[in-house]
Structure 1
Amino acid sequence: MVANLIGSVFNIWYNKEQIRPELSPAQVERFQACWQVFNLVIYPLAVACWVAPILWLRGVHRKLLAGKETDPELLVRAQRTVVNLPWWILAVAGVSWLVCIPVFPAALASLPEPLSRTVVWHLVISFFSGGMIAVTHSFFAVELVSMSSLYPVLFRRQNPAEVPGATPMTMTTRGLMWALSAVVSPIVTLVLLLITPQATTETPYFGVAVGGVAILFGLATVWMIKDLVNLPLKRLEKAAIRISKGDLDTRINLRRADEFGTVIASFNDMVQGLRERERIQQTFGRHVGQAAAEQILSQGDGLSGAEQMISVMFVDVRNFTEHSSKHSPEEVVEALNLFFTMGVETVELHGGMVNKFLGDGFMALFGIGSVTEGDTSGAEQAVKAGCALLECVAGSCDELAAAGWPGLAIGVGINTGPAVVGSIGSPQRQEYTAIGDTVNVAARVESLTKQVGRSLLVTEATRKQLPEELPLELLPPQKVKGKGEALRIYALRNV
């Protein structure tokens, strides 16, 4: 309403100043009467046409605000009406302005006095120019107010860009309308001043006033388009920055029916996909270990493996069969879960990954994914993790006793060497693990802990990759299943 009222006042002022010298007294009087009667008739009709869909929307709007159920078809119709509201004001205001073009020249031409063609052209172009400025501002204003006040209520679950039958304005059309209202129309108006010879002599400051009004309207248009374009861009920028920092709870709660609506919906879907992928990776990581999960996801779905130099650690609970025969399954599981929790935390703290649980023990891998040739840190990490786990079990006697397993003891065996690490199995069921003689020997070395009476044993291959200062003690060679020669094994002193 404000834009059209300003446009009407400016148009009346413009025509009175510029065409008055070309009119007879009777024509001036007719022009005065014409614009008064025209506005008294057209404005109430235009307002009634504009208010009609708004009044219809009130019922649906109030139901949604009250949280009441709304007929789905009625809701879609209301949503379509809201998205198309800017086009409705464009049609109502546009027709109201276009009607001026035949009415005013016809009213002046009905008098006996001849009507100058210059006057007709002034009237036609001034109505079109003033109407273009007022109508486009009305369109942008209605669009802004609709998005801020109606969209949050009518589009709580739906995307405005996906409403059937709705025709939101595209960014290209907005740019064209801005050019017509803020550039073309003011320039045409200023050019019209040059057509009337009296423009520069009788009203020398009128051109300045026209230019000033045109600048104000242009700035107002830019301000409204800025909110229509800048706001979603800023939201997208901030959301992208938060996501880059790992905040996957980010969501853009901005409802738009134009291209931004599609982009924002796709952005939110992308973030939801990232959240789901992160959830799957975390859940997956709890089963196979975070390091393995990351490698599996990076390798894809295929069956693959690569030979790596790794250190393998087997851990086994002593006297498991005897304890299980004297306790209920629930008590056994409770104690094992407590022990496995210690084991996973200790192994991961030292850079390893628990690859699989073996009933009363587990297998852990160290040095997986090492990119430095000759890197021996995996062996040292494995030995330190084994020592730390033994200390952790010894220091948790009270908790283990409370869980039903007083005096729980473990054996640890470590071996280092090449192994194929990756996904094995079938396309339907796969397992990420390490395969090779290195793994088999590590399992055999762990079983030797019972025979030699030591809690932690390492092979000679592991010993070669450990610092010299580690207090290792060479034990007598031991025969193991599957090996023709006896193994040279080492034990940490006092362990």
Structure 2
Amino acid sequence: MTTSHELPPGFSPAQRYGLLLVALAAVAPNLVGSAFNIAYNQIQIEPMLKPHQLDRFGACWRLFNLVIYPIGVLVLATPLLWVEPVHRALVAGRPVEPRSLLYAQRFAVNLPWWVLRIVSVCWLICIPVFGAALLLGDEPVDREVLWHLATSFVIAGMIAVTQCFFAVELASQRLLFPVYFQHDLPCDTPGAYPLSITGRGLMFGVSAVASPIIALVLLLVLPEASRQTPEFGLSVGAVAIAFGLTTAWMLGRLVALPVRRLKDAAVRVAEGDLDVRVDDLRADDFGPLIDRFNRMVEGLRERERLQETFGRHVGHEAARQILARGAGLGGTEMIVTVMFVDVRDFTAHSSRHDPDEVVSVLNIFFREAVETIESHGGMVNKFLGDGLMALFGVSGGSENHALAAVRAATAMQERLRSATRELEQAGWPGLRIGIGVNTGPAIVGSIGSPRRQEFTAIGDTVNIASRVETLTKPLARCLLITEATRLRLPADFPIEALPPQWVKGREEPIAVFAPTSDSPLAAGQCD
């Protein structure tokens, strides 16, 4: 119904001529119903009419087709003509005044009801018009003729009207909704009255069940006619059943299809695919359901994005712990192994290099350290400028978290040695680290204020681990562990005791241990 020959992107040719196709969807069921009605009249009614009555009957048909049908078509097409400029503008991508757009949206949702009213009146008015045409003649009319007349219009009308409603609704959803609801939802349209699922079931019952049964019952109450033309009775039943099956197919498109799409989308979400979206535009009960489903998936996608971003900043294990423990302050006392890692001579190196080079080196170091710690079941708790603090045993993934921490420390040294070439290119070929490990009780949880919190471990165990790490440089050792950690290692673990060391905050020296000099554990970039 538009005059433009260029189709803007996003709209199919069918949507471009959507109003015309919707109108044809309303006409098609009525043409079939009219063909059925004409066949019924020719076979059942006209043989029962006298010549003069037959002439009046034919004249009534001609007058009805010349007057009533054109009026019905005009009334049916009037709102289509009103909304056509809006349709043309939307398809062309031009802006539309909000009030006009709202009218078009309401029209698209309520169009099946408008068609239902007009078509029902046109079919029902046939009964008194044709009955009066025969009764007003000079010859008496057999009551059986009037019964057949009403039967023909009732059967054809019931089938045509319900078929017309579903056809227009289906066509409107496919052709008009994508044009009129580019930024809005049909289910949110004020003044719209879509058919509910319950009402749809009732109308389906009328078309697929009641219409065939009523058609056969009306024929059975005319035993004489049924005996004269039994084939016609079977034909009526077959036609009614065929229309019922057609209604069932359209109902499947209107009901079963969105259910299947929602089910498939839910399965994909359950499998972890959060890029799924159900794009059906529905004004009925499925509209809010589809909208809520899409919002739910968007919320899950946003939550996963935030958790992924959150995890990159605090660590994935820390993110899981925070989400599992809730947003409140406080913690739980646990036996954990704490690791502190520090880059040697970082201040001196920073003073001789540009900030970009310093950051590049740190990123290489942190990448290798984080991957190593997490692969051994640990959790990087925080970055400390040129070092980090890691916790083992927080997630409960490893019973012997002390051994996991020591093995992670050894693997970290090996990975840094493998990254020597990359470190050279970044400007620090001689990067060295020191690692201190301690095991003991600590309070693990969220501390801070209600507005700003941090997930960490607090306690003397943490303090000792930090102090032990500072001893690695004067003792010229890559890795130092405390006696509490040593007691959790296997008896044959290649490690040796060093002289007790004084550390800040302790009244007595503490026992420290390091890998034996001939052990592979002693190798690393710490010399």
TM-score, reference length from structure 2: 0.88
Residue number in structure 2 paired with 1:306: 332
Residue number in structure 2 paired with 1:457: 480
**Secondary structure of the equivalent of 2:439?**
strand
Residue number in structure 2 paired with 1:474: 497
After superposition, residues 27-426 of structure 1 pair within 5 angstroms as: 27-370=53-396, 376-426=399-449
- The farther-off stretch of 86-95 and 476-485 is 476-485
The alpha carbon displacement at 1:116 in A equals: 4.2
Residue number in structure 2 paired with 1:445: 468
The CA distance in 1 between the partners of 2:100 and 2:492, in whole Å, is 81
The alpha carbon displacement at 1:22 in A equals: 5.6
The alpha carbon displacement at 1:184 in A equals: 1.5
Matched-pair contact (CA < 8 Å) for 2:215–2:240? no
The CA distance in 1 between the partners of 2:244 and 2:321, in whole Å, is 57
The alpha carbon displacement at 1:13 in A equals: 2.8
**Secondary structure of the equivalent of 1:205?**
helix
The CA distance in 2 between the partners of 1:246 and 1:469, in whole Å, is 45
Residue number in structure 2 paired with 1:492: 515
The CA distance in 2 between the partners of 1:158 and 1:271, in whole Å, is 19
Q: Look up the equivalent residue of 2:322 and give its one-letter code.
A: I
- The farther-off stretch of 55-64 and 264-273 is 55-64
The CA distance in 1 between the partners of 2:403 and 2:112, in whole Å, is 71
Distance 1:74 1:200, change over 3 A: closer
Residue number in structure 1 paired with 2:3: none
The alpha carbon displacement at 1:197 in A equals: 3.4
**Secondary structure of the equivalent of 2:338?**
strand
Runs (4+) off by over 6 Å? none
**Secondary structure of the equivalent of 1:201?**
helix
- The farther-off stretch of 315-324 and 481-490 is 481-490
Deviations 1:230-277 (A, max 9, x none): 111111111111111111111111111111111111111111101110
- The farther-off stretch of 28-37 and 339-348 is 28-37
- The farther-off stretch of 210-219 and 119-128 is 119-128
The alpha carbon displacement at 1:141 in A equals: 0.8
The CA distance in 2 between the partners of 1:206 and 1:97, in whole Å, is 22
Deviations 1:66-98 (A, max 9, x none): 322222222222122112221221122111112
The CA distance in 2 between the partners of 1:381 and 1:58, in whole Å, is 73
Matched-pair contact (CA < 8 Å) for 1:248–1:271? yes
Deviations 1:113-132 (A, max 9, x none): 33344443443354233212
The alpha carbon displacement at 1:57 in A equals: 3.4
1:430 corresponds to 2:429? no
The CA distance in 1 between the partners of 2:73 and 2:151, in whole Å, is 24
1:10 corresponds to 2:33? no
The alpha carbon displacement at 1:303 in A equals: 1.4
The alpha carbon displacement at 1:34 in A equals: 1.9
Distance 1:41 1:311, change over 3 A: same
Matched-pair contact (CA < 8 Å) for 1:424–1:433? yes
Deviations 1:356-412 (A, max 9, x none): 1112211011121217xxx53322221121112212223333333333333121100
Matched-pair contact (CA < 8 Å) for 1:376–1:466? no
Matched-pair contact (CA < 8 Å) for 2:501–2:511? yes
**Secondary structure of the equivalent of 1:450?**
coil
**Secondary structure of the equivalent of 2:502?**
coil
Count of equivalent residues: 492
**Secondary structure of the equivalent of 2:501?**
coil
Residue number in structure 1 paired with 2:24: none
The alpha carbon displacement at 1:112 in A equals: 2.8
**Secondary structure of the equivalent of 1:258?**
coil
The alpha carbon displacement at 1:312 in A equals: 0.8
Q: Look up the equivalent residue of 1:393 and give its one-letter code.
A: L
The alpha carbon displacement at 1:330 in A equals: 4.1
**Secondary structure of the equivalent of 1:255?**
coil
The alpha carbon displacement at 1:455 in A equals: 0.6
The alpha carbon displacement at 1:16 in A equals: 4.3
The CA distance in 2 between the partners of 1:347 and 1:237, in whole Å, is 41
Q: Look up the equivalent residue of 2:440 and give its one-letter code.
A: G
Deviations 1:298-354 (A, max 9, x none): 222211311222211000111223333334444433322332222222212222111
The alpha carbon displacement at 1:149 in A equals: 1.8
Q: Look up the equivalent residue of 1:191 and give its one-letter code.
A: V
**Secondary structure of the equivalent of 1:158?**
coil
The CA distance in 2 between the partners of 1:122 and 1:183, in whole Å, is 21
**% identical equivalent positions:** 58
Matched-pair contact (CA < 8 Å) for 1:376–1:465? no
Q: Look up the equivalent residue of 1:398 and give its one-letter code.
A: R
The CA distance in 1 between the partners of 2:189 and 2:429, in whole Å, is 67
Q: Look up the equivalent residue of 1:3 and give its one-letter code.
A: P
**Secondary structure of the equivalent of 2:445?**
strand
Distance 1:194 1:20, change over 3 A: farther
The CA distance in 2 between the partners of 1:303 and 1:125, in whole Å, is 78
Q: Look up the equivalent residue of 1:490 and give its one-letter code.
A: F
The CA distance in 2 between the partners of 1:183 and 1:309, in whole Å, is 72
The CA distance in 2 between the partners of 1:198 and 1:19, in whole Å, is 13
The CA distance in 2 between the partners of 1:197 and 1:225, in whole Å, is 35
**Secondary structure of the equivalent of 1:115?**
coil
- The farther-off stretch of 27-36 and 214-223 is 27-36
Matched-pair contact (CA < 8 Å) for 1:18–1:193? no
Deviations 1:4-34 (A, max 9, x none): 1121222233244444576444333322332
Distance 1:333 1:204, change over 3 A: closer
Matched-pair contact (CA < 8 Å) for 1:84–1:168? yes
For structure 2, the 5+ residue unaligned runs are 1-26, 523-527
Q: Look up the equivalent residue of 1:112 and give its one-letter code.
A: D
The alpha carbon displacement at 1:111 in A equals: 1.4
**Secondary structure of the equivalent of 1:43?**
helix
